[in-house]
Amino acid sequence: MLLSLVKKDFILVKKYVLFMAVVCFLLPVFLLSRLPEFAGPLTFFISVVYSIFLLLQYVFLKEYQSPKASLLLCASPYPRRLMVLGKYGFCLVLYAASSLIYWINTQIFPGLGRFHWEMAVLVFFIVTIFYSIYIPLEYRLGFERTKFITMFIIMACPFVAPFILQKGAVIQDYIQLLPPVLFYGIVLFISLLALVISACLSVYFYEHADLS
């Protein structure tokens, strides 16, 4: 049932999936040509944020424009809990797809650097913390109230991302005594814990939401 709901979200954005895949492929190349000193984690981070956020935002927009569809789904055998978890599954699939596209990019454009699992975990952590806050807010406040966050993120991401990644590198310098596998294991655990807490909050908000 959960896979069906993830598939439903992809059907809602099917007109834009190919477009975002192209953007996800070309954006790192564009950033490499303009800001070669930030090639690597920054380009990967921005491509992941844009691809996930814009498609997820479009899914919420379509649901906001068609409230009767949500009512019909709630009347179906699909519980609200799974409808919420489908959004998180949707984001995870988009992250995996974005990572694959970026890996292909690094094979074609060596200037982007090497795609390694440490970078994937670090970017996954930052993106997860953001979406762990954003998705519950979307269910709590609704699309109309959170749409301004969209404009802020799109405009601020290229400026905030270098600062975030730089601070992440500084923190990593302080804990070099830890084995890398242990450090990134802790980071991955915190990411998954944030997802679980976020999913529980989103489920709670949506189950108590009045859709009438």
Flag whether pLDDT at 188 surpasses 60: yes
In angstroms, the CA 99 to CA 101 distance is 5
In angstroms, the CA 89 to CA 201 distance is 16
The rounded Cα 153 to chain-centroid distance in angstroms is: 12
Q: pLDDT-derived band of residue 60, with 50, 70 and 90 as boundaries?
A: confident
State which amino acid sits at residue 117.
W
- The confidence score (pLDDT) of residue 90 equals 92
Structure confidence by residue, pLDDT tens digits, 147-163: 777 667 667 666 666 66
Structure confidence by residue, pLDDT tens digits, 17-56: 888 888 888 888 887 777 776 677 778 888 888 888 888 8
In angstroms, the CA 69 to CA 71 distance is 5
Whether the Cβ atoms of residue 207 and residue 140 lie closer than 8 Å to each other: no
Q: pLDDT-derived band of residue 91, with 50, 70 and 90 as boundaries?
A: very high
Q: Which two tokens stand for residue 197?
A: 């807490």
The rounded Cα 44 to chain-centroid distance in angstroms is: 12
Residue in the block written with tokens 């068609």: 66
- Which residues of 61-204 form beta strands (DSSP E)? none
Nearest CA among 39, 14, 17 for reference residue 28: 39
Nearest CA among 198, 146, 149, 163 for reference residue 45: 163
Whole-structure pTM value: 0.85
In angstroms, the CA 17 to CA 20 distance is 5
